Amino acid sequence: MKRFIYGLTVATTLVFATSCDEKLEELLENPNAVNAQTASPDFLLNRIQLDYRSFWFDLSDRGARLTRQINQGSALYEAAYTPPSTNPTWVNAYADILADIKFLEPLATAANLQRHLGIAKTIKAMVLMNLVDTYGDVPFTEAIDAANFNPKTDTGASIYEAALKLLNEAQGHFTVATSNGTPNDYFYARNYTRWVRLVNTLKLKYYLNTKLVAAAASTAGINALIAQDNMLKTGDDFVFQFGTTAADPDSRHPKFAGQYTQGGGDYQSTSYMWRLTEEKGFDDPRARYYFYRQVLVNTTNPDEQECITQLAPPQYLVGAFIYCNPGTRGYWGRDHLDPDGIPPDGLKRTAYGVYPSAGRFDNNSAAPVNNPALGGRGAGIHPIMLAAYVDFMLAEAALTLGTTGNAKTLLLSGITKQMNYVRSWSLTTAEGSVISAFDPADQFTRSRDNYVAYVGNQFDAAANNSAKMNVVAVEYWLALFGNGKESYDLYRRTGMPLRMQPALEENPGPFIRTFLYPNNYMVTNTNAVQKPNLAVKTFWDTNPASPWIY
């Protein structure tokens, strides 16, 4: 059904192509098929936005697992993500999003649909940077060309430069005085001031990611953005909002749909829950929003959770890492790279909470999550880029590049903004009354302020800028629940947070610095050359290998 809009761009150069002379084309053309003369730019842009939602989620989910925000199964990294496993991501990027944008651009240009072009080019820039972040060097200049079945790769650095150029072009499309059409805008409801702020925030991310290979340019670029003061602010959050419809197509948040229909679903990360509930000696105010406990005490039955009768592996004991359960209050998850089978714990393991997947708020009710009418009923969000993230990124830049701004002030501002957003957004869901009763505004404010003061003291006590950067990284990582894409980039860019929970296997193989090229690319492109291993890094990642990152 995804290609109901038109048939022209299906798979383009990556799957197949045909050629024929002009007269034969005219004879064979289906008068009922959608073509360049009859295609709707509005429908094309709708599809581009929806496909980016799915593309981003694939990247985010993998990044969240690799950075211990949710459980990563499989004992070895190489077994967790094989080349065929990312086929859908590759096809969505090239055969769907980029091909659709290529088809849209001349139509929108001819009709002076400037805002369509602005949205499309912003998404194109994000897709290009996301592909480089995920795979490294990928096809670009020769891609989406019906005359070339075997496009060669471009360097990641050159693709990043092309993405920056697209962002500058998009900004012009959003601000030009005259434009036709009113695009269906799934993100900002045609508020182009917010689109411009997003573009500037994406430039910030560009400069932050490239700081290790172009420190001077990154410093100058970030300082210029700070001086303009036109990045995302409170209320400008770039999110995709889901609905509550379960029928095909399912409009609910995929994490809700995967867990609240019959129970079961993902395991939460033992170490991430420990960081939010035990590490500081008090609960993070967000814990009850992020997680919903189906039980309030830990199991004593090894048939349900075998780790309770086992010793932690040697690498855990040496580093004194949390193992098996974080505390005793029913935060039931799994350790990193746990390959065990599935015991009868589907209605006992900790589930996704109200934020961001619109599940249940944890008010100690401890009920099974096997009813899709529970909680926010799946009307969740993808938090693709929040205003709070800007403050964390600027804090990192201040510490590592010496850019304008006070790192501590930015850090504490980022925590406050993100906590406020988690609660204020959650109150808009069907769980709003439950939240207000259990966590009233004054109580939440006290908890938030106590947390911020604690982190401020941690930052002050840190011995040097590297230690202070780890404080920033930990807090950014905790604020990124629901956004594994930014968490994965943060981890590779900084090697932080430090002391991430190890794998259960003593040698799980190299950490995934970039993913292997997908199988469909390797078997259809004669110029494709597979990477030797998972340790191959993208161009902006110049950090060393293990043991500091694993």
Please say if the pLDDT value at position 118 is more than 70.
yes
Reported residue count of the chain is: 550
Which pLDDT score is estimated for 319?
85
Closest by CA to 130, choosing from 484, 528, 495, 387, is 484
Query: Is it the case that residue 536 has pLDDT exceeding 50?
Result: yes
To the question of pTM greater than 0.85 for the whole model, the response is yes
pLDDT at 5 over 60: no
Q: What is the DSSP secondary structure assignment for residue 382, as one 8-state letter?
A: E
What 8-state DSSP symbol labels residue 482? T
Q: Which residues, at least 6 apart from 406, have a Cβ–Cβ distance to it below 8 Å?
A: 398
In angstroms, the Cα distances linking 481 to 237, 355, 379, 384 are 15, 9, 17, 11
More confidently predicted of 34 and 175: 175
Instruction: Say how far apart CA 483 and CA 465 lie, in whole Å.
Output: 26
Apex 155 CA angle, 149 and 161, nearest 5: 110
- Is the pLDDT confidence value at 181 over 80? yes
Mean pLDDT of the chain: 93
User: Who contacts 408 (Cβ-Cβ below 8 Å, separation ≥6)?
Assistant: 395, 456, 459, 460, 468
Helix (H/G/I), strand (E/B), else coil: 13: helix
Peptide bond into 106 cis (omega under 30): no
Query: Residues 189-225: pLDDT tens digits?
Result: 999 999 999 999 999 999 999 999 999 999 999 999 9
Query: CB-based contacts of 457: which residues, under 8 Å, 6+ apart?
Result: none
pLDDT-based confidence at residue 119 (cuts at 50, 70, 90): very high
Looking at residue 38, its pLDDT comes to: 63
pLDDT score at 545: 83
Side chain identity, residue 63: G
Q: Phi, psi at residue 227, to the nearest 5°?
A: -65, -35
* Mean predicted confidence (pLDDT) in 118-137: 98
Please provide the distance, in angstroms rounded to a whole number, between the alpha carbons at the two ends of the chain: 40
Pairing of strands 153-154, 138-139: antiparallel
Angle of helix 441-461 relative to helix 407-427, nearest 10 degrees?
Answer: 160
Written as six digits, the tokens of 524 are 């259809």
Report the run of H or E that residue 385 belongs to, with start and end: strand 381-385
CA–chain centroid gap for 81, Å, is: 17
Pick from 414, 435, 415: nearest CA to 423: 435
- Structure-block tokens of residue 9: 């761009």
Choose between 38 and 382: higher pLDDT.
Answer: 382
Residue 393: phi and psi, rounded to 5, are: -65, -40
* 8 pLDDT more than 80: no
**Gap between the Cα atoms of 181 and 108, Å rounded:** 9
CB contact set of 364 (below 8 Å; sequence gap of 6+): 296, 438
Task: At 376, list the tokens.
Answer: 């926010």
- pLDDT for 25: 40
Contacts of 152 (CB under 8 A, 6+ apart): 139, 142, 527
C-beta separation of 410 from 476 below 8 A = no
Query: Mean of the pLDDT values across residues 424-430?
Result: 98
pLDDT tens for each residue of 221-246: 999 999 999 999 999 999 999 999 99
Q: Which long-range contacts does 151-157 make (Cβ < 8 Å, 24+ apart)?
A: 151/13, 151/525, 151/527, 152/527, 153/527, 155/539, 156/132, 156/538, 156/539, 156/540, 157/213, 157/539, 157/540
Q: What is the pLDDT of residue 1?
A: 37
Q: Give 19-74 pLDDT, tens digit per residue.
A: 334 433 443 444 444 566 668 999 999 999 999 999 999 999 999 999 999 999 99
pLDDT of 248: 85
Which position has the token pair 């197509």? 249
In whole angstroms, what separates CA 204 from the centre of its chain? 17
The C-alpha atoms of residue 228 and residue 225 are separated, in whole angstroms, by 5
CA atoms within 13 A on the CB side of 453: 7
Alpha helices in 210-269 (DSSP H): 215-228, 254-259
Distance, in Å, from the CA atom of 299 to the CA atom of 324, rounded to the nearest integer, reads 11
pLDDT: is 386 or 548 the higher one? 386
pLDDT of 473 strictly over 50: yes
Tokens of residue 531, six digits: 């990477």
Weakest mean pLDDT among 3-12, 46-55, 320-329, 434-443? 3-12
* Residue 349 clears pLDDT 90, i.e. is over it: yes
Q: What is the predicted pLDDT for the residue at 14?
A: 42
